[in-house]
Amino acid sequence: MKKTLFLLFALSLAFKINAQNYNLLVGTYTNKGNSEGIYVYDFNAKTAETKLKSSTKAVNPSYLAISKDNKFVYTVNEDGKTSAVSAFSFNSKSGALTFLNKKSSEGADPCYISIDDKNVILANYSGGTISVFGRNADGTLTDAKQIIKHTGKSIDPKRQTSAHVHMVQFSPDKKFLIANDLGEDQIYIYTYNPTSATKVLTVKNVIKTNPGSGPRHLAFTPNGKFAYLAHEFTGSITAFSYTKGNLHKLQDIGTTLKDFKGKIDGADIHLSPDGKFLYETNRGDANEISLFAIAKDGILTFIETVNTLGKGPRNFAIDPSGNHLLVAHQYTNDVVIFNRNPTTGKLKDSSKRINVGVPVCLVFK
């Protein structure tokens, strides 16, 4: 009886230890010479301690996605006209990645990737295209099933002379794909047909955003009722209600103080796991992260803005426990780990850092 109780206690303890540890995958730019590619860390959600598990060579893996079954990792290879998308098998225990295959991205400089069980979809920034690839049973990529070319422009004479697709994201119900085009100041909503051989995406609706704002990233609430759009040029956020493939504008709100004079350069946007708080980062001269409370009707209320303690906070992630927020700094070669108060949403420096070359993507699994 004592042996049985001891075994049950040991198993329970092991489960608790494993439950607080997650894989943290870091995508980087390798063209600066101080990074190899993809890094996998063990992250302890209780202590915020990290330990390197593996590193894998890849060309500019600036955005990553992990399959739902945790067996495969897909990454863009952001490399101008020779850009590609790569597939790896993933050993979640060891953190090891094994290269499977690679395909042309069918558009220059892919900057975002979304996947499901059937397809891998890229946003190609410079190319202004969306490309769709099938997934084989062994995790490898098929040839492109569909390539959609955006052809518009907007009012900025330098950044908006052509289309620049910046994000492709599935709607909460997985029936639609939403694409933000920074170059056109538009949001495209595509009906998603995952099993189609050639027409996976068909246009349902196009929404114009504020001229010259540069729509970049979109984040949904966990219940799928609201979505929040971060604009790169202005650093502002647009709140929408969402129903059945339609976005309805609720609010525009700024993220910097009124007397701020420098370059803003909005970057990333995410919600807390409980859906009560929204965070958005600004790069440029700001290097800040702003916190907002989300009301039941989706309206945002500003709480505070804090310095991210580095330069170029291009991407950030909240760990699955909700107790920590990690900011990847492109220009200071580090990931700053903040402690997060789940009740107030406020951040406090944990004094813990991950030193890694040019980190630009953080994914927990």
DSSP states along 268-334: EEEE-TTSSEEEEEE-TTT-EEEEEEE-TTS-EEEEEEEE-SSS-EEEEEE-TTSSEEEEEETTTTE
Q: What is the mean pLDDT of the chain?
A: 95
Domain ranges of the chain: 58-208
d(CA 72, CA 46): 26
pLDDT of 308 higher than 80: yes
Does the domain made of 58-208 have the CATH classification 2.130.10.10? yes
Please provide the DSSP assignment of 139-158 as one string: S-EEEEEEEEE-----S-TT
Query: pLDDT of 114-160, one tens digit each?
Result: 999 999 999 999 999 999 999 999 999 999 999 999 999 999 999 99
Q: How confident is the model at residue 258 (pLDDT cuts 50, 70, 90)?
A: confident
Q: How confident is the model at residue 49 (pLDDT cuts 50, 70, 90)?
A: very high
Is the separation of the CB atoms in 159 and 214 below 8 Å?
yes
pLDDT of 2 higher than 70: no
Q: How many residues does the chain have?
A: 365
d(CA 121, CA 76): 10
Cβ neighbors of 232 (< 8 A, separation 6 or more) are: 166, 182, 213, 214, 215, 216, 265, 266, 267
Mean pLDDT of 285-310: 97
Query: pLDDT of 179-198, one tens digit each?
Result: 999 999 999 999 999 999 99
Q: How confident is the model at residue 257 (pLDDT cuts 50, 70, 90)?
A: confident
Neighbours of 315 (CB within 10 A): 25
